[in-house]
Structure 1
Amino acid sequence: MTMKKIELEFPIHASPSFIYQYVSTPDSLGEWFADNVNSRGQNYTFIWDDSEEVAKRVAQRTDQFVRFKWIDADDEDAFFEFRIQVDALTKDVSLMVTDFADEGEEEELKMFWENKISDLKHAIGG
């Protein structure tokens, strides 16, 4: 089955360093992305209700982006990434989310991220 790359943009009224903390640290990810997040080195365990998934942090640049890869993902190329983008002219800040969906599940994935980013905005008071 082919995975389809999805890229979404969410304007967020907060500084890049503040947003970066929320998308890269276990405690902050546990406030909006999962019920609980633990990390050991590059491996992050995301816990929801009665399930848990482990992702490896495969790339990052402070205040710019962080990329995770699910350890047991079927697709070797699939990852999810949070990238902070600042408009050069307006200085507006957006969080770009990249993820991969199975064919036919793109809308579900978009709704998932819209809900999660809404939780993120609530957590940071945006």
Structure 2
Amino acid sequence: MSKKQLYTLEYPVRCSPTILYDFLATSSGLQEWFADKVDDEDGTFSFSWNGSEDTAEVLDQEEEKFIRFHWSHAPKDEYFEFAIEKSEVTNQTILVIKDFAEKKEIKDQSMLWDHQVKDLFHRLGN
């Protein structure tokens, strides 16, 4: 099995970091766009999609800056992360997603993220 590699996606967002962070770091916010059902208990999030379930532990987070998750089934050094950055030039809020995938799967995984983020933007009124 080939080793997965880290890739990064960036999406400009028209909303405040405070509002965006709530959609990225709370079970109610994530349930709006990321999964059908999301529960959070002591830093472990349970996600459900069409009857399948997965859990992820929060590895690290900083309010209105980023949250990093680790899927329970993934190797220890892999994670997915939502970060919020500000463009110094335009002062625009940017959602940065970091995730791992095998090289040949990065394009498909990126398209999946694009679809998810489109749903998030719809919820945010973007």
TM-score of the superposition, structure 1-length normalised? 0.96
Q: Counterparts of 1:74-113 in structure 2 under 5 Å?
A: 75-113=75-113
Matched, 1:11 2:18: no
Percent identity for Structure 1 against Structure 2: 34
RMSD of equivalent CA atoms = 0.8
The 10-residue stretch of structure 1 (41-50 or 87-96) with the greater mean CA deviation from structure 2? 87-96
Q: Counterparts of 1:47-62 in structure 2 under 5 Å?
A: 47-62=48-63
Runs of 4+ in structure 1 over 3 Å off: none
1:57-104 CA distance string (max 9 Å, x none): 11000000000000111x221100000000123211110000000231
Structure 2: stretches of 5+ with no match in the other structure: none
Q: 3-state SS of the aligned residue for 1:106?
A: helix
Structure 1: stretches of 5+ with no match in the other structure: none
Q: Distance in 2 between matches of 1:49 and 1:100?
A: 23
Count of residues in Structure 1 that have an aligned counterpart in Structure 2: 125
TM-score of the superposition, structure 2-length normalised? 0.96
